[in-house]
Structure formats: structure tokens, C-alpha cells
Amino acid sequence: MESCNPVYTPVEIGQELRKHDGEAKVDPTYFKSLVGSLRYLTCTRPDILYGVGLISRYMETPSQSHLNAVKGILRYIKVCRSSVVCSAAKGQDTFTPISSILPKSMLPDPHNIELWLKVDGQIRQKGSTSDMIFKIPFLISHISSLFTLLEGDLILTAYAHNVKQFAVLLRTPKGAGPVKIG
């Protein structure tokens, strides 16, 4: 990939990946190795988080199109190694489910909040903000230097221990609606 063409977004706009796409299968061990490395990299590169989450769905039986998506992220990383413009990306509305919103007064120490994800009543992920590599004020400062944070914005992050991902709501969202099941 030394002489690859540059890519300026980690995921192609409108890119659709399917589990059974009819394309040739690739070596799952190689694919898992690449995706595992990218998952670890999301700790310091939140701009690739969505793309890495997308390709992580296809770890069992990856195809050529899945590998091409991984290579697209690698090409993006190569271009954006030294570019501040590429070091963060602002997401879209309604892109991820979240739980009830807690007022700031219920969180006396934001650096020690236990977070978890339940699916059908079973805990799938569990973590604490105390495990974060970068503390919340630093994240806010860094992200604010790249683009304007608005009331209601979420900062999605990950931590290195098992690279479990969770969201931290830093501000009460203006006009937040109810959480929709599904």
C-alpha cells in the first residue's frame, strides 16, 4: 500500500456491505488481524470509529468487498497521518441508540462513571470512564479545536481494555426525543 491512491474519507459515501455478497472470500485470519489493529487505533483516531465498526461486522466470513473497505480505511489513515483536518469527523443525527439522558448533577465525578450496554436484558459491554486513555476535558478541548461542538453533541470514544466502545453524553441535548426501541 506504499503507492496507493489517497482517500480523504474513511468510508465511501453510500457504501453498502453485505454478509453474503457473492464475492470471493478472503483469509479470515488476515482480515481479523487488520480489523483488530484498526480497532485498537480507534482509541486515538475517533475519525475511523464508524468505518471500523462497520467492517467489524464481517469478521467471520470476510469477502473481497469487506477487505477493500479495510484497505480504504488504511488508505485514509496513510493520507491523514499528519493532517489535522482528517483527525476527526462529525457524525450524523440519529446514528446510534443511546439510553436515558442523565442530568449533569447526577454525575459528580465524570472521570469515574460506569457505563454498560444491554441487549435484550443481557450486558454486552461494560466499562468505566476511569479506563479512558484521554480524560474528558482533554477530549473536549481537542475536538473543539477541530470543529464547533454544539449543545446535544455526543462524543463517542473507546478504551484499550478489550477495545469496548461507549458513548459519553457531555451536554444535555436540546429537544431530545424519547429513545426508540429497535
pTM above 0.75, yes or no: no
Q: Tens digit of pLDDT for each residue in 13-48?
A: 777 888 888 899 999 999 999 999 999 888 878 888
Q: Tens digit of pLDDT for each residue in 119-149?
A: 888 887 788 888 777 778 887 887 777 777 7
Query: Quick check: 6 pLDDT over 60?
Result: yes
For residue 12, the model assigns a pLDDT of: 79
CB burial class (10 A; 0-12, 13-18, 19+) of residue 69? buried
Domain ranges of the chain: 1-85, 90-169
Chain centroid to Cα 170, Å, comes to 17
CB burial class (10 A; 0-12, 13-18, 19+) of residue 32? middle
Which range, of 97-101, 123-127, 154-158, 161-165, averages the lowest pLDDT?
A: 161-165
State the angle between helix axes of 64-79 and 28-41 in degrees (0 to 180), rounded to the nearest 10.
Answer: 30
